[in-house]
Chain A
Amino acid sequence: MSDLPKARIATASLAGCFGCHMAILDIDERLIDLMQLVDVDRSPLTDKKRFTTRCDIGIIEGGCCNEENVHVLHDFRRNCDVLIALGQCAIMGGLPAMRNAIMHSDAPLRECLEEAYITGKYIRNTTHNVPNDPALPLLLDEVYPCSEVVEIDYQIPGCAPGGDIIFDTLSKLLTGKFRGFEREMIKFD
Chain B
Amino acid sequence: MSGTKKETGFTFTIDGVEITAYAGETIMEAADEAGVYIPRLCDHEGLRHQGSCRVCTVKAGGRSVAACTQPAAPGQAVENESPHLTKMRRDLVEMLFHEGNHLCPICEASGNCELQAMAYRLDMTETTRFPYLEPCRALDASHPDIALDTNRCISCGRCIRASEDVDGKGVFGYVGRGIHRRVAVNGENLADTDAQVTDHAISSEVCPVGCIIRKRVGFVTPIGEREFDKGLIGHEIEARRK
Interface residues of A (CB under 8 A from B): 85, 88, 92-95, 97-98, 100-105, 142, 145, 147, 151-153, 155, 157, 159, 180-181, 183-184, 186-189
How distant is the Cα of A153 from the Cα of B126 in the complex, in angstroms?
Answer: 8
Using a CB–CB distance below 8 Å, which chain B residues touch chain A?
101, 103-107, 110-111, 116, 119-121, 123-128, 132, 134-138, 151, 223-224, 229, 232
Given A92-B132, A104-B136, residue A189 in contact with residue B232 (CB < 8 A):
no
**When the two chains form their complex, are residues A180 and B125 in contact, meaning their CB atoms are under 8 A apart?**
yes
The one of B125, B134, B138, B223 in contact with A189, judged by C-beta atoms closer than 8 angstroms, is B223
Complex interface: chain B residues within 8 A of A153 (CB):
127
The answer to whether B125 and A97 touch across the interface, beta carbons within 8 angstroms, is no
Do B120 and A186 touch (CB < 8 A)? yes
A151 to B132, CA, bound (A): 17
Complex CA gap A103/B139 in Å reads 10
Query: Closest Cβ of chain B: how far from A28's Cβ, in Å?
Result: 18
A95 x B127 contact (CB < 8 A):
no
- State the Cβ distance, B144 to closest chain A Cβ, in Å: 23
Q: Which residues of chain B have C-beta atoms less than 8 A from A92's C-beta?
A: 128, 132
B104 to A102, Cβ gap below 8 A?
Answer: no
Chain B: which residue is nearest A101 at the CB level?
B134
Question: Could you jot down 15 A-B contacts, CB within 8 Å?
Answer: A88-B105, A92-B128, A97-B132, A98-B101, A100-B134, A101-B137, A157-B125, A159-B104, A180-B125, A183-B120, A186-B119, A186-B124, A188-B110, A189-B104, A189-B105
Contact of A183 among B136, B137, B232 (CB under 8 A): B232
Which B residue's beta carbon lies closest to that of A146? B127
In the complex, the answer to whether B105 meets A186 with C-beta atoms within 8 Å is no
In the assembled complex, the CB of A3 is this many whole angstroms from the nearest CB of chain B, namely 33
| Given A104-B138, A183-B120; A189-B110 close (CB under 8 Å) | yes
- Verify B104–A88 contact, CB threshold 8 A: yes
Residue of B nearest to A151 (CB): B127
Contact of B104 among A105, A181, A188 (CB under 8 A): A188
- Inter-chain pairs besides A95-B103, A181-B125, A183-B120, 12 sampled, C-beta below 8 Å: A88-B103, A94-B105, A97-B103, A98-B101, A101-B136, A102-B101, A155-B126, A180-B123, A181-B123, A183-B232, A188-B119, A189-B110
